[in-house]
Amino acid sequence: MKFNIGNILTLLLILVLGPLTPASSQEVPHPVTNTGIYQFLDELANDHIFSLSSVIKPYSRQFIAQCLVKAGQKRDELTPRQQRELDFYLRDFGKEDSTINKLFKSSFSRNTENPGAGREDVFSRFIKVIRGNKRLDLFYYTDSLFSITINPIIGGEFFTNSSGTATYWRNGIETRAYVGQWGFYASLRDNHEKPVMGRPSFLTHREGGHLKDGTDWSEMQGGITYSWKWGNAGFVKDNIEWGNNYNGANIFGKRNPSFIQLRLQIRPAKWFTFNYFHGWLNSMVVDSANSYWMTNSYGTNYREVYHRKFLTANMFTITPLRYLNISAGNSIVYNNKSVNPAYLMPLFFYKSVDHSVSSGIDNMNSQMFFEISSRQIRHLHLYATLFVDELAVSRISKKDAWNFLSWKTGFRLNNYPFSDTYFTTEFTYSYPLTFQHYIPVTTFESNNYNLGHYLKDNSREWFISAGYRPVRNLDIQLYFSDAVRGPDYTELATPRVGNPPLESVEWRNTSLGFRASYQLVNDLYAWTSIANSNISGDRRWSPEYFYGKKLTVNFGTTFGF
């Protein structure tokens, strides 16, 4: 059976138009890189203002709006700074929900009658006067059926250390619109970075996207979504982040360039959520059988064609107790001439499917993942994530054999013992060959960027941070990280089984830093940071600009994402 784009779109229509339950929401994902709102929701969930499952990101703007409504209903339980921050985000996400507009007007009225309860600086009051209870947009229109928002994307940052200076800047435009229960969004961004600091081989948090050989690249994201009362579906090109973390997820880490996905999310009960996607990856592996020579007025050139590569994944999340979420899921990377309909089935355990689909030949690359996230102790978020790349029961009892696993555990303590503070500790450990694969067209990668943890396999990291949020949208943080990586056994032609984890340290990055970030108005950030780092070992795994002992000063600003 051949699956072309027409079949895919037909399937999408079946998914989104099939439900007979009346629609009641609109869904457009909000960028995870807009960290302010995600940190605020996490903080409120840790404080028991509402219950939150944070294993799957991005959240939709509608979901964020619903969380803000719940926070507004418990306004008296918020600190003064949290109340001002709530009002700040209501000006943006109030456009998603009429309930929020009423909530904001009520809040604004209380603050007007009692100015001391919501004291604001002169700049904030001026902004409120010129735009009322809505954030400032380049263009915004709404009526009973249709709404649209358009904003620019512009920003940049500057680095300086003993290696000299480095710069990054971006420019573009983003828009989102709603028509009934349909959502539409698009973001186009040109990026300019010199020197390049986010290559696929670098062990760094900087997102990839260097699709050309130079220092400039563009990134297009967007999609179409449809929602109903208990779920939503979409055909999008976007980033994802799976797994709770405060310093890099170890299921899907979002460092790779965005890719096309067919998404589905259902929430049939308060205690159960299901997520699924099927993605089209870029293998970067040339298919010589379909590549060809061509001659035209410009000369003779070789037209390269890549092997096709796909990824499908699901995640089941249950909430057996309030503030406790348990998640389990699986994924598979496969290559085929076209989409295999077996992997379009959202509920499958894909490794078992692969045993029949690939019977008698080398199997595809499958994974499993599990997570538990507990906020049952007020102010405290405890979490643990396990990524299973390959598991054999026989290896568990052997001293010289290891399964291919990555696990992460950590906690964040908010607003205890002092208000407006937080403390984080996170530990990540990945065994050799986790996130790796010996078949080039089924690696856990897209555009050569690893889809999992930013340190890849055979690595270990400690991350500790302490922060203070003295006023609305100002975040001051001290942090320490110690990350190491051992030998890359994929380069050493060693056997796949029996490679000792961290037998030697081939790369190390120890950093102590300070960072302050302030969101002046919605989506307009300014920040500065100072980091004292020492990167040693394999030079291929770090930008030369940061290699060695460096004291790096960084500052920047951005509007839009």
Q: Residue 516 in contact with residue 476, Cβ under 8 Å?
A: yes
pLDDT at position 364: 93
Mean pLDDT of 272-281: 98
pLDDT at position 105: 54
pLDDT value at 352 more than 90: yes
pLDDT value at 20 more than 60: no
pLDDT value at 332 more than 50: yes
In the chain, DSSP finds a helix count (H) and a strand count (E) of 8, 25
Beta bridge partners of 548: 535
- Tell which wins on pLDDT, 545 or 16: 545
Band of pLDDT at residue 16, cut at 50, 70 and 90: very low
Residue 384: give its domain's CATH number. Answer: 2.40.160.130
Tokens 């259902």 identify what position?
Answer: 266
Band of pLDDT at residue 361, cut at 50, 70 and 90: confident
Q: What is the pTM of this model?
A: 0.91
3-state secondary structure 380-406: EEEEEEEEEEECCHHHHCCCCCCCEEE
Question: In this structure, what DSSP letter does residue 304 have?
Answer: -
pLDDT at position 89: 97
Mean pLDDT of 237-266: 97
- Tell which wins on pLDDT, 129 or 139: 139
| E strand intervals along 36-117 | 56-57
Average pLDDT, the chain: 90
Q: Residue 326 in contact with residue 310, Cβ under 8 Å?
A: no
Helix or strand (DSSP H, E) at 84: helix 80-93
Retrieve residue 337's tokens: 């001439």
pLDDT value at 1 more than 50: no
3-state secondary structure 259-297: EEEEEEEEEEECCEEEEEEEEEEEEEEECCCCCEEEEEC
Which of 107-121, 361-375, 494-508 is predicted least confidently?
107-121
Band of pLDDT at residue 28, cut at 50, 70 and 90: very high
Which of 246-255, 292-301, 343-352 is predicted least confidently?
292-301
Residues 6+ apart with CB under 8 A from 420: 79, 81, 468, 469, 470
Residues 6+ apart with CB under 8 A from 112: none
Residues 6+ apart with CB under 8 A from 44: 50, 52, 67, 71, 78, 82
pLDDT at position 298: 86
Band of pLDDT at residue 399, cut at 50, 70 and 90: confident
Polymer length of the chain: 561
pLDDT value at 18 more than 80: no
Q: Which pLDDT tens digit goes with each residue over 75-121?
A: 999 999 999 999 999 999 988 865 555 555 555 455 544 544 444 55
- pLDDT above 90: percentage of residues in the chain: 80
Which of 98-107, 401-410, 477-486, 500-509 is predicted least confidently?
98-107
Mean pLDDT of 138-148: 94
Question: Cα dist. 417→380, 413, 478 in Å?
Answer: 11, 9, 18
pLDDT value at 539 more than 80: yes
pLDDT value at 531 more than 80: yes
User: What residue numbers bound the domain in which 38 lies?
Assistant: 5-559
Residues 6+ apart with CB under 8 A from 536: 507, 508, 548
pLDDT at position 492: 80
pLDDT value at 448 more than 70: yes
Exposure on the CB side of residue 380, measured as CA atoms within 13 A: 8
Q: Which pLDDT tens digit goes with each residue over 162-201?
A: 999 999 999 999 999 999 999 999 999 999 999 999 999 9
Compute the distance between CA of residue 102 and CA of residue 119 in angstroms, rounded to an integer: 21
Q: Residue 269 in contact with residue 255, Cβ under 8 Å?
A: no
The Cβ of residue 355 has, within 10 Å, a number of other Cβ atoms equal to: 12
pLDDT value at 130 more than 50: no
pLDDT at position 189: 95
pLDDT at position 405: 97
The Cβ of residue 206 has, within 10 Å, a number of other Cβ atoms equal to: 15
Burial class (CB in 10 A: 0-12, 13-18, 19+), 397: exposed
How many domains, in total, are found in the chain? 1
Retrieve residue 262's tokens: 């067919």
Which of 31-40, 116-125, 551-560 is predicted least confidently?
116-125
Tokens 């568990």 identify what position?
Answer: 396
Mean pLDDT of 498-506: 96
Beta bridge partners of 508: 484, 536
The Cβ of residue 111 has, within 10 Å, a number of other Cβ atoms equal to: 18
Provide the residue type at 9 as one letter.
L
pLDDT at position 496: 86
